[in-house]
Structure 1
Amino acid sequence: MLRRADKGAERLERALDGGPAPHDSDTRRALAAAGALAPGHTRNPARIEQTHDAMMAAFQRTLNPLETRDDAGTGDGLDDTDLHRQEIDLPGGGQLVLSDLEELTPERIEQALEMAAEILEQSSKDHQS
């Protein structure tokens, strides 16, 4: 019995070292159990360090927030932005409101009206089917 166990252990060792696949069921079951106990993935040390560094940087930002300037946001041109807006009555009683950062030219208004008409036409076709 002891000799039989030694042979099974030898077959299992050979299979674990990359040798031929065992044919007997005991060794195959032991090999499957060994595979189930092996971890499915290993942790990458570089990824662990990157995660740690990112967490520490976020922690430091929370502890030491940046000082706010009194003149923050001035002179950047964002507060001087004009919004161009135009309301257009559509045939059939609807209303289209166009708004843009750029000036609304008659060509752009006409293009927007054509796009709205196409959308309404497609919508009416969908409701009819």
Structure 2
Amino acid sequence: MSRRADQSESLERALDGGPMPHDEDTRQMLAAAGALQPGYRRSPARVRSAREAMLREYARVQNPQETREDAGTGDGLDELELHREEVELPGGGHLVLTDIEAITPERVEKMTDRVERFLKNSEQKDRQS
């Protein structure tokens, strides 16, 4: 059998999942065949899922829900009060705390301590590098 026929059979066996060939020519041909193969395959389940999602969204846009006359009332969002506290940090920093819950002096002190520790740690890391 010729060398070319032997390489061809070896390449076909490798492409079918057989043992990896040892000669360099067949390995290069196998690498070239792998480079020509697409990097990914489309999953039929994902294609179907994407299509169904597009159709659901299309149907939702075509048939919008009716707006209620009382929409937005009584949901509690219009009564929402934001609490805000501004604190001067040592070293010239400025901290603004905002929350929907009341900001107590203990929370202000706790957050101020955290920010100061964070700033000290970041300064020490900057000096070390």
Using the size of structure 2 for normalisation, the TM-score is 0.61
Number of matched pairs: 119
- One-letter amino acid of the structure 1 residue matched with residue 9 of structure 2: E
| Superposed displacement of residue 6, structure 1 | 2.4
Q: Which amino acid aligns with 1:35?
A: G
Instruction: Name the structure 1 match of 2:25.
Output: 26
Identical-residue share of aligned pairs (%): 50
Unaligned runs of 5+ in 2: 88-94
Q: CA RMSD in A?
A: 3.8
Q: Deviations over 1:44-75 (max 9, x none)?
A: 11111111112222222222222211111122
Secondary structure at 2:78 match in 1:
helix
What one-letter code is carried by the residue in structure 2 that aligns with 1:58?
Answer: E
Aligned partner of 1:17: which letter?
Answer: D
TM-score, length-scaled by structure 1: 0.61
Higher alpha-carbon Rg: 1
Give, in whole Å, the separation in 1 of the partners of 2:86 and 2:18.
Answer: 80
Q: Which residues of structure 1 form unaligned runs of 5+?
A: 89-95
Kindly state the Cα deviation for residue 22 of structure 1 after the two structures are TM-superposed.
1.9
> Partner amino acid for 2:36?
L
Correspondence for 1:112:
108
